[in-house]
């Protein structure tokens, strides 16, 4: 049994690989990322293998996921976002599977590591900024100054807008990381109360644990959704400056 509620977040190498002083070991984190990708591919491949008008359950799931992301892109980015759909869909599926695989007892939640979520968010931030400059040229600097404000206010407004813009990858990554970490910590801590409190007293934390487990499934899906929808919103800002 785990002794500390933090043990579940430990990254342990499964297949140690050292390349010129660099630790490139295949870890449990990497294993679950592989599982997330494999799961996504399997779900979508088997889901749409037999395309029927009245869908099977698996096909329903695959179509539903597709529709959710397609609607999200259409509503938040518009038709200009069509070409980014593959990336956004992959992102959504990767995070969704990462969150849900973490709900398997004994599983590892790679989205509970800030470095994973920050890498995703930072990549999105850089990509969106490049897209912005590519579409608007130097006019993209207009993002940092609201239309119609008197010119002298630039000295105050520009730093504020720049900090606000830079805070995007941080808020994006911290939100996902914090939600997943706190949820899993809570499960472990409350789970640790059950046995010491005995047969009668332990029923209370056990009931709480069941409720929180249900809540965690909800949060796993919601956070994948929120991460993706914010990516869409940032992409929309870059394509059609606000």
Partner 1 sequence: MSPFVPSDPSERRSDTAAGATPEPDPVDPDRLAALDHELSVAIARRRKADDKGPPDGGRSEGLGAGMRIAVEMAAAIGIGVAIGVLLDRWLGTTPWLLLLFFVIGFAAAILNVYRTAQELDRKAKARKARERADETGSDTR
Residues lying near partner 1 in the complex (CB under 8 A): 51-54, 156, 159-161, 163-164, 166-168, 170-171, 174-175, 178-179, 218, 222, 226, 233
Measuring CA to CA, how many Å separate 238 from each of 68, 80, 127, 129, 136? 22, 11, 10, 7, 8
Burial class (CB in 10 A: 0-12, 13-18, 19+), 213: middle
Considering the complex, what minimum distance in angstroms separates the CB of residue 105 from partner 1? 23
CB of 2 to partner 1, least distance (A): 27
Q: Quickly count: other Cβ atoms within 10 Å of residue 120's Cβ.
A: 21
Nearer to partner 1, 37 or 229 (CB): 229
* Closest C-alpha among 35, 148, 182 to residue 97: 35
Instruction: Compute the least distance from the CB of residue 5 to partner 1, in Å.
Output: 21
CA–CA gap between residue 134 and residue 132 (Å, rounded): 5
**How far, CA to CA in Å, does 197 sit from each of 76, 121, 210?**
49, 42, 16
- Residue number, 189 or 218, with CB nearest to partner 1: 218
Of the pair 50, 82, the CB lying nearest partner 1 is at 50
Nearer to partner 1, 194 or 212 (CB): 212
- 58 contacts 47 by C-beta, under 8 angstroms: yes
> Nearest approach, Cβ of 120 to partner 1 (angstroms)?
15
Minimum distance from residue 199 beta carbon to partner 1 (Å): 32
Residue 211 CB contacts under 8 Å (≥ 6 apart), including other chains: none
User: Is the CB of 42 or the CB of 222 nearer to partner 1?
Assistant: 222
- For partner 1, the closer of residues 57 and 198 by Cβ is 57
**CA pair distance 206, 190, nearest whole angstrom:** 8
Least distance from partner 1 to the Cβ atom of residue 104, Å? 22
What's the CA gap between 155 and 84, in Å, rounded? 35
What are the φ/ψ torsions at residue 26 (nearest 5 degrees)? -80, 110
């Amino acid at each position: 049994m785990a002794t500390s509620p933090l043990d579940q977040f430990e990254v342990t190498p499964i297949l140690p690989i050292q390349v010129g002083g660099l630790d490139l070991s295949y870890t449990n984190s990497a294993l679950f990322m592989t599982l997330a990708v494999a799961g996504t591919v399997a779900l979508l491949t088997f889901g749409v293998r037999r395309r029927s008008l009245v869908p099977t359950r698996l096909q329903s799931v695959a179509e539903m996921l597709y529709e959710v992301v397609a609607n999200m892109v259409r509503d938040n980015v518009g038709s200009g976002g069509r070409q980014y759909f593959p990336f956004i869909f992959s992102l959504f599926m990767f995070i969704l599977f990462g969150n849900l695989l973490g709900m398997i007892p004994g599983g590892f939640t790679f989205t509970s590591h800030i470095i994973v979520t920050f890498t995703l968010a930072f990549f999105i931030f850089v990509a969106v900024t490049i897209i912005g400059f590519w579409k608007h040229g130097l006019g993209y600097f207009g993002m940092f100054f609201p239309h119609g404000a008197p010119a002298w206010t630039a000295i105050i407004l520009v730093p504020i807008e720049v900090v606000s813009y830079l805070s995007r990858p941080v808020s994006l990554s911290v939100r996902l990381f914090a939600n997943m970490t706190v949820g899993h910590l809570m499960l472990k801590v409350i789970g640790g109360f059950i046995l010491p409190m005995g047969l009668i007293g332990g029923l209370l934390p056990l009931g709480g644990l069941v409720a929180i487990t249900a809540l965690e499934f909800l949060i796993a899906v919601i956070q994948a959704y929120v991460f993706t929808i914010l990516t869409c919103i940032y992409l929309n800002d870059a394509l059609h400056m606000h």
